[in-house]
DNA sequence: GCCAACGTTGGC
DNA sequence: GCCAACGTTGGC
């Protein structure tokens, strides 16, 4: 099993939106970056876990945990000319973009802020924290994953 | 709103 | 294949 981090803007699709979905499940569509696409298509497996990260907001940080419940499959929003994620180069015969389905596992009562992540020495080398990183889908190492879970636990039971 | 950092595009 | 211009991301 592998661990990941997936970014979304809470104003567009936040963890509360996922919570409100039937079966708390939604497709993670609209990714239009090749490196992130490769993680979605080739890296993620059903059963993998990911942090749900809120970006471009007042308090950026990790808001909860999701599970990959369907591995990579073609992102059909690229084929809708009226949609905001339309890409005329992609077709059902030759899809360019991929998505996965995620299911909410748990929403953090106390989100782990980006500022808190930056302060933790064990997370110094986390991809999320490297300068200039803009990928919306990132791998997380097992030690990093466990460190963050501990941070969340201690925030929960001080 | 600003700006740094990065990815993509397209001319040559 | 190079590289300048442009667009996007995302923290602050």
List the domain boundaries for chain A: 3-156
State the burial class of residue A85 (Cβ atoms within 10 Å of its Cβ: 0-12, 13-18, 19+). Answer: middle
CB neighbours (10 Å) of residue A88? 8
Q: What is the pLDDT of residues A115-152, one digit of tens each?
A: 999 999 999 999 999 988 899 999 999 999 999 999 99
Q: Is the pLDDT of residue A81 over 80?
A: yes
Q: What is the pLDDT of residues A9-40, one digit of tens each?
A: 999 999 999 999 999 999 999 999 999 999 99
Instruction: List strand C contacts in A 52-111 (CB < 7 A).
Output: 55-57, 60
- Residue A40, classed as helix, strand or coil, is helix
A131 CB contact with strand B at below 7 Å: yes
The CATH number of A3-156 is: 3.10.590.10
Distance A88 CA to C7 C1' (A): 18
Exposure string over A14-46, b if 16+ CB within 10 A, otherwise e: bbeebeeeeebebebbbbbeeebbebbbebbee
Q: Is the pLDDT of residue A8 over 80?
A: yes
A133 CB contact with strand B at below 7 Å: yes
Distance from CA of residue A25 to its chain's centroid? 13
Residue A119: its pLDDT value, please?
A: 95
Exposure string over A48-83, b if 16+ CB within 10 A, otherwise e: bbbbbbbeeeeebbbbbbbbbbebbebbbbbbeeee
Residue A156: its pLDDT value, please?
A: 86
Q: Is the pLDDT of residue A58 over 90?
A: yes
Task: Provide the β-strand partners of residue A5.
Answer: A51, A138
Q: What is the pLDDT of residues A98-118, one digit of tens each?
A: 999 999 999 999 999 999 999
CA dihedral A22, A10, A101, A62 (to 10 degrees): -110
pTM given for the model: 0.95
Distance A115 CA to C11 C1' (A): 11
Distance A134 CA to C10 C1' (A): 7
Residue A116: its pLDDT value, please?
A: 97
Instruction: List strand B contacts in A 24-83 (CB < 7 A).
Output: 33-35
Evaluate whether A127 touches A139 at the Cβ level (below 8 Å): yes
The encoded tokens of residue A102 equal 């995620």
């Amino acid at each position: 099993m592998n661990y990941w981090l997936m970014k979304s803007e809470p104003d567009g699709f936040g963890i509360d939106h996922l919570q409100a979905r039937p079966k708390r499940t939604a497709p993670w569509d609209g990714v239009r970056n090749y490196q992130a696409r490769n993680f979605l298509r080739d890296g993620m497996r059903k059963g993998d876990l990911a942090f749900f990260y809120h970006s471009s907001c007042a308090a950026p940080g990790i808001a909860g945990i999701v599970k990959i419940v369907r591995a990579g499959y073609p992102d059909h929003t690229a084929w809708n000319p009226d949609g905001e994620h339309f890409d005329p180069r992609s077709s059902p015969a030759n899809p360019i973009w991929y998505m996965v389905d995620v299911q909410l596992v748990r929403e953090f009562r106390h989100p782990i802020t980006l500022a808190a992540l930056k302060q933790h020495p064990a997370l110094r080398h986390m991809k999320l924290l490297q300068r200039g990183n803009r990928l919306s889908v990132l791998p997380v190492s097992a030690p990093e994953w466990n460190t963050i879970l501990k941070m969340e636990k201690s925030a929960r039971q001080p």
